């Protein structure tokens, strides 16, 4: 059976599974649509949260990012997992006790203010829409590579599948589909990693293999890797990075993660407050299965690629272009791997031509610049081919990448549609809408959101990659502080919280626009995006925590200068702090 047929079979079977689950778990009430009737087992919810959280970026890009830099990019590993500690300790149990459906609803009720709620809705929609564009584009690319259709056809197929299970099942359908998607993506991610770890170190567990001996050389794997990359002029893999930048960027990812609305709403679905705490732990267990494997995948893939290009070691001749392996030919077609024979010797020289100290050695060897450009994103996708694994593993990777992209897209779309149908329509524009009418509005806004996401995915704005920084920064600077203050302080009042969020929102946007252009339009930036221009050396991508601090400070001082919140609100805060009386799974309200 050829590779194409295999891909079609495996991906098709996974899609049939998702749609089947959707039909089995149709939502009949708004409680089912928004919160799966609060009946989800905490372990299942942990799995669904893991799939919800791990996007195409975690599945496809993260290992490549770590491989490219080594230790310095450990920030992604700590940042994208450490946020769950904040969620479990500071947000999840209290929001579950509050017992409503959306994040803006909590902000609106706690700060007894429709404007606070609207600011939260705006932030939620900006965060979720920028995120969902990346997911849809990722799904389109995965389709075009593995199913050999055009990127736009791939996107429409992805949109149709999400439409069926998200519109039909709402949170209920999405939850059980995400559980299935988690299983697909983790199996797809770990199988090639296990084989590669066995080949390189003899240890079947990739996370342990990373710290074991490299079988071929007898040296520890990381030491071997340090040696081959420095032989080619790159920085040592385990070399120290900039402490300030790493700390700030890790903090930014952690607080951003804890403020992302599509992750927070997953904790509304469990039966009890205690389950919300357990569920955050289970989510991190399932996330860690991938995140403990990713650094091994990154390091081993980097070593494998250099081995392929320099079969006799970096000190010997590079491989002839004519004799390059098949996986290189496959990825050249996609443009994600490029070879230019700069010195005309027919061999592939891959090295760091920007390293000053390496110029003389390169000249002595007759090298005329780096000849191979490898996009970081191909690392995970090409891994099974690089390690010469069987065709069904390659098909599995395709299904896994799609599962990662689609599960996150569905979670985001649900956050958007519930904010529109519940916060905007039901509580603002048309309070007398019936339960049936609201459910219909939720489905229509979900359909609309899918259409917008697909159209944006077809014509991604040039700034799509940069807006992810905006999404994290906004989540960190607006939603996270507002929720935390709402729970941990009885004194923060409506004016303080609203002004705090607005200051966090405006400061974060201004800082990003200063370096990345007004509304990310190229050429309109006021300062060049280089470290020398940064305020206290803070890169735009790491501004989130600063925005959060500004939000906290403004909210505190304004609240202290104005009247305390009414007694009923203080009672509400008292009540969310105590688990008793959370209310079991209920249908209608």
Partner 1 sequence: MSDNSSSNAYWAANKRIIYISLVIWAVVSYGFGIILRPMLSGIPVGGTDLGFWFAQQGSIIIFIALIFYYANYMNKIDREFGVDEE
Q: Which residues bind partner 1 (CB under 8 A)?
A: 66, 71, 74, 77-78, 81-82, 84-85, 88-90, 93, 207, 210-212, 219-224, 226, 238, 240, 243, 246-247, 250-251, 272-274, 277-278, 280-281, 284-285, 288, 291-292, 295, 571, 574-575, 577-582
Supply the minimum distance, in Å, between the C-beta of residue 99 and partner 1.
12
CA–CA separation, 36 vs 462, rounded Å? 36
Bridge partner residues of 201 (DSSP): none
Concatenated DSSP letters of 319-383 = PBGGG--HHHHHHHHHTSEEE--SSSSSB-----TT-GGGHHHHHHTT--S--EEE-TTHHHHHH
The owner of tokens 């170190």 is 201
Q: How far is the CB of 218 from partner 1 (least distance, A)?
A: 11
Write out the DSSP string of 236-297. Answer: PTT----HHHHHHHHHHHHHHHHH-HHHHGGGGSSSSHHHHHHHHHHHHHHHHHHHTTHHHH
How far apart are CB 233 and partner 1 at their closest, in Å?
20
Looking at beta carbons only, is 278 or 515 nearer to partner 1? 278
For 321, the token pair is: 């272009």
Q: How far is the CB of 262 from partner 1 (least distance, A)?
A: 20
* Closer residue to partner 1, CB minimum distance, 76 or 163: 76
CB of 281 to partner 1, least distance (A): 4
Cα separation, 498 vs 107, whole angstroms: 9
* 284 vs 439, beta carbon nearer partner 1: 284
Of residues 53 and 146, the one with the C-beta less far from partner 1: 53
Shortest approach of partner 1 to residue 271 CB, angstroms? 9
Q: How far is the CB of 573 from partner 1 (least distance, A)?
A: 10
Between CA 160 and CA 317 the distance in angstroms is 50
Residue placing its CB nearer to partner 1 in the complex, 185 or 251: 251
CB of 574 to partner 1, least distance (A): 5
Q: What is the DSSP string of 494-532?
A: HHHHHHHHHHHHHHHHHHHHHHH-GGG-TT--SS-SSGG
Burial class (CB in 10 A: 0-12, 13-18, 19+), 151: middle
Residue 373 neighbours by CB distance under 10 Å: 12
d(CA 348, CA 381): 22
CB closer to partner 1, 273 vs 456: 273
């Amino acid at each position: 059976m050829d590779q194409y047929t295999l891909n079609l079979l495996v991906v098709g079977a996974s899609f049939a599974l998702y749609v089947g689950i959707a039909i089995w778990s149709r939502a009949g009430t708004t409680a089912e649509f928004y919160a799966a009737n609060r009946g989800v087992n905490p372990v299942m919810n942990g799995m669904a949260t893991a799939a919800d959280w791990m996007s195409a970026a975690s599945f496809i890009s993260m290992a490549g990012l770590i491989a490219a830099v080594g230790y310095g990019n450990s920030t992604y590993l700590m940042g994208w997992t450490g946020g769950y500690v904040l969620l479990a300790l500071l947000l999840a149990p209290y929001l579950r006790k509050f017992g409503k459906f959306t994040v803006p609803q909590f902000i609106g009720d706690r700060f007894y203010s429709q404007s606070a709620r609207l600011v939260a809705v705006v932030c939620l929609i900006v965060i979720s829409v920028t995120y969902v564009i990346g997911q849809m584009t990722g799904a389109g690319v995965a389709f075009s590579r593995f199913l050999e259709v055009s990127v736009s056809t791939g996107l429409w197929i992805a949109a149709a599948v999400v439409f069926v299970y998200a519109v039909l099942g709402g949170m209920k359908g999405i939850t059980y589909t995400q559980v299935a998607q988690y299983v697909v993506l983790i199996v797809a991610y770990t199988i090639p990693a296990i084989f590669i770890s066995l080949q390189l170190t003899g240890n079947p567990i990739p996370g342990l293999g990373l710290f074991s001996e490299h079988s071929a050389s007898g040296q520890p794997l990381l030491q071997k890797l340090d040696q081959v990359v420095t032989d080619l002029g790159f920085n040592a893999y385990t070399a120290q990075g900039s402490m300030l930048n790493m700390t700030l960027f890790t903090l930014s990812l952690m607080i951003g993660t804890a403020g992302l609305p599509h992750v927070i709403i997953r904790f509304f679905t469990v039966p009890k407050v205690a389950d919300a705490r357990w569920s955050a732990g289970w989510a991190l267990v399932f996330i860690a299965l991938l995140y403990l494997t990713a650094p091994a995948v990154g390091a081993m893939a980097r070593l494998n690629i250099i081995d392929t290009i320099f079969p006799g070691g970096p000190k010997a001749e590079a491989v002839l272009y004519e004799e390059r392996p098949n996986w290189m030919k496959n990825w050249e077609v996609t443009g994600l791997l490029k070879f230019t024979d700069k010195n005309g010797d027919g061999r592939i020289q891959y090295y760091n031509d920007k390293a000053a100290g390496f110029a003389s050695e390169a000249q002595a060897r007759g090298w005329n610049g780096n000849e191979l450009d490898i996009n970081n994103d191909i690392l995970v996708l090409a891994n099974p081919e690089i390690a010469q694994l069987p065709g069904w593993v390659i098909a599995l990777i395709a299904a896994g990448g799609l599962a990662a992209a689609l599960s996150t897209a569905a979670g985001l779309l649900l956050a958007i549609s519930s904010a529109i149908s519940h916060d905007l329509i039901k509580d603002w524009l048309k309070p007398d809408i019936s339960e049936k009418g609201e459910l219909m509005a939720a489905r229509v806004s979900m359909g609309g959101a899918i259409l917008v996401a697909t159209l944006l995915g077809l014509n991604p704005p040039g700034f799509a990659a940069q807006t992810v920084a905006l999404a994290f920064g906004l989540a960190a600077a607006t939603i996270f502080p507002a929720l935390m203050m709402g729970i941990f302080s009885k004194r923060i009042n409506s004016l303080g919280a609203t002004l705090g969020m607005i200051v966090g929102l405006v400061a974060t946007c201004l800082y990003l626009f200063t370096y990345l252009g007004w509304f990310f339009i190229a050429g309109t930036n006021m300062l060049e995006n280089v470290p020398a221009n940064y305020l206290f050396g803070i890169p735009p991508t790491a501004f989130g925590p600063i925005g959060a601090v500004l939000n906290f400070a403004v909210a505190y001082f304004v609240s202290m200068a104005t009247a305390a919140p009414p007694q009923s609100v203080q009672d509400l805060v008292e009540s969310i702090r105590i688990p008793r009386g959370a209310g079991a799974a209920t249908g209608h309200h």
